[in-house]
Structure 1
Amino acid sequence: MKIKKQQIIARFLGLGINTLSFVNPKKALQVAYLFFSTPRKGKLDFNQLPSILKKATIEKHNVGSHIYHSYEWKGNQECILLVHGWQSNASRWKILIPQLIETGKTIVALDGPAHGLSSGKEFNIPTYVQFLEDLMPLKQPTIIIGHSIGGQVIGKYLSTASYSFEKIIFLGVPSDFSIILSNYIQILGLRKKIHQQLIDYIQFRFDIEIQEFSTAQFLSNNDTPGILFHDEIDDVVPIEEAFKIHKSWKNAQLITTKNLGHSMHDSKLYQDLISFIQN
């Protein structure tokens, strides 16, 4: 019932944007991008943090006009970095973190733009990549784990960075940004003209080519050992996206799951993940 209600609301919003586009195309584009880039959930209150984050050492970092927060559970010299996805925050790892702590390694998680304790209202991948660029020399992780768009952020970071990891782990990660944008257009039922305007705006603003913004392409020349976990009936990121990444990323193995959805919280999966880290 909740999903159906969300679908109805999305359709009404899409209808409003479509109608506005005939009267004021520029304003319609602004509204469409605003809704696309603004998380509806995932923010945190410092005075009401989830218990797992209260146990961490919290640091505030500045990157240009942005502020982001990181959380550290101190262990040995080896560090694992956790990168969350859309409408989430560092606490999405609350089930996995205690198991990672048992490995003896230092665990670090961060909040993406407009998520958790980090500043701003707009989420975009280039800004998230800047957060990684700032955090890497500070924490020097040897292993990195990304969920959903968090994995795409990692891929984009690695496409230009000289930094290398010993292992990379992806959970439900999309390959093509164009798929994410197309899904958004479909959910709202937006006109093709608005779709193209969004493509043009994003490409101009961030100086990127949508068709080239692909996790599969980002990792095509990467030889870091990796593992891809993806559910066969993920209704957010289709399993075909994992196939694309796996085909391109030669040193990665693909493990498919059933009935875990997009969140992929599962004891067996986490056992396999820990085993990959330790072996």
Structure 2
Amino acid sequence: MENKSKHNQGVVVPKLLLFSIHLMEFISPYWGMRLAAFLFSKPFKYKRPEREVSVYKEAKKFSYQINKSYRYVACYQWEGSGPKILFVHGWSSRATNFYKIISRFRELNYNVYAYDALAHGESEGLTTNIPEMIDTLEEMMTYWGPIEILVGYSGGAFSSAYVAAHNHSIKKLVLISPFDKVITVFEKYFKMISLGAKASQLMLDYFTKKTGHQVEELSASQFSKVIKAKTLVIHDKNDREVDVCEGININNSISNSNLLLTEGLGHRRILRDSSVIQSLEFFVLND
């Protein structure tokens, strides 16, 4: 199951940051937790690669203020006369990561929408979290709506599943490399940075107080049970960042869902694979 190809590398935390967390934790578990929580909530930003530039330049761009956070998100629209389709990117990503899929639906004359989540891409903010990403998606759905086709990737797939469970105007839902339980994301992070038990619990409590959500309650396979939209779940068997079993669990919880398992694409290259895009297109275009 483990694929060490360059297309499927896991997240690596710089040693200096690990040392800083452990030093702070040794001095005070609370302050060690606060540093760990800050890094957990701060997406990495990367320079836009050349392959995404043309799609970015062709988009109609504007900023929209999110009511709950009072911060602005960068919004993108590629106008067409066809149905509306909205793309929701993942953590440490940006809207144009969907460049190849967006290009295809532009060829099909769809009305394509996307945005950079808060603290991502060209949007405002230094940190964000899953509940805030859900709130942002809900506001953008209202602003651009009605949206009948929703495509989410990774953390954006989690947010999309949550919104689809509460917004039954969505007719088609595509979840690419979705994670199931937020607690699993926390536990992987704690293990990755070797955070102690006391600081780990403090961080879970801090998240609950900050967001108003119990971490254990945020489970896609639970709230997806009420999704009415026809759904396609796409996940790679060799995904080292989000285990394929999480996508399978979500697929099994949705009454009208199909599962597409790929192999050798990992967590990232899956968005650029031609066969995946063809399957996604077939799903969207056909009843």
- The reply to whether TM is greater than 0.5 is yes
Note the C-alpha offset of 1:103: 2.1
Is the contact between residue 84 and residue 147 of structure 1 (CA under 8 Å) also seen in structure 2? Answer: yes
Structure 1 residues 77 and 8: alpha-carbon distance in aligned structure 2, compared to 1, 3 A threshold: closer
Task: Identify which of 264, 268, 278 aligns with 2:275.
Answer: 268
Task: Measure how far apart 1:9 and its partner are.
Answer: 2.5
For 1:220 and 1:99, the matched residues in 2 are separated by 31
Could you tell me the TM-score, scaled by structure 2's length? 0.89
The letter for the 2-side match of 1:18 is H
Is the contact between residue 30 and residue 202 of structure 2 (CA under 8 Å) also seen in structure 1? no
Partner in structure 2 of residue 37 of structure 1: 41
Partner of 2:180: 175
> 8 Å contact 1:231–1:261 — kept in the other structure?
yes
Matched AA of 2:274: S
Residue of structure 1 equivalent to 2:148: 142
Question: Which moved further from structure 2: 22-31 or 204-213?
Answer: 22-31
Instruction: Give per-residue Cα distances to partners, 1:223-275, cap 9 Å, x unaligned.
Output: 21100000001000000101210121121111100000101121001001000
For these two proteins, the number of residue pairs brought into alignment is 273
Are 1:90 and 2:82 an aligned pair?
A: no
* Amino acid across the alignment from 1:22: F
2:64 maps to amino acid: H
Query: In the alignment, what sits opposite 2:60?
Result: 57
Partner of 1:153: 159
Superposed displacement of residue 15, structure 1: 4.2
Structure 1 equivalent of residue 120 of structure 2 = 115
User: In 1, Cα distance between the equivalents of 2:14 and 2:72?
Assistant: 32
Q: Provide the residue aligned with 1:17 in structure 2.
A: 21
Give the secondary structure class of the aligned counterpart of 1:220.
helix
| Aligned match of 2:202 | 197
AA at the equivalent of 2:86: L
Residue 153 of structure 1 aligns to which amino acid in structure 2?
S
Q: Tell me the distance in 2 between the aligned counterparts of 1:102 and 1:95.
A: 11
> Cα distance 1:90–1:162, how it changes in 2: closer, same or farther (>3 A)?
closer
Name the amino acid aligned to 2:118.
Answer: P
Q: Secondary structure at the match of 1:230?
A: strand
Which fold has the larger relative contact order, with Cα–Cα distance below 8 Å and residues 6 or more apart in sequence?
2
Change (3 A) 1:151 1:6: closer
How far the C-alpha of 1:77 sits from its partner, in A, is 4.9
Q: Could you tell me which amino acid in structure 1 is paired with residue 61 of structure 2? A: I
Amino acid at match of 1:92: N
Q: Give the equivalent residue in structure 1 for 2:170.
A: 165
Gaps of 5+ in 1: none
Q: Percent same amino acid among aligned pairs?
A: 27
Q: Give the secondary-structure state (helix, strand or coil) at the position aligned to 1:96.
A: helix
Q: What secondary structure sits across from 1:254 in the alignment?
A: strand
2:100 counterpart SS class: coil
- 1:118 alignment partner, SS class: coil
TM superposition shift of 1:163: 4.8
How far did 1:102 drift? 2.1
Normalising by structure 1, we get a TM-score of 0.91
Summarize the Cα distance change of 1:194–1:41 in structure 2 as closer, same or farther, 3 Å threshold.
Answer: same
Partner SS for 1:227? strand
In structure 2, do the counterparts of structure 1 residues 25 and 113 end up closer, same or farther at CA, with 3 Å as the change threshold? same
Give the Cα–Cα distance (whole angstroms) in 1 for the partners of residues 175 and 72 of structure 2.
25
1:92-107 to structure 2, matched below 5 A, reads 92-107=97-112
- Quote the offset at 1:120 in angstroms: 0.2
Unaligned regions of 5+ residues in structure 2, if any?
none
Distance verdict in 2 for CA 1:8–1:61, change over 3 Å = closer
Q: CA deviation at 1:50?
A: 2.2
Deviations 1:165-210 (A, max 9, x none): 1100011010111111111111111112221111111112111121
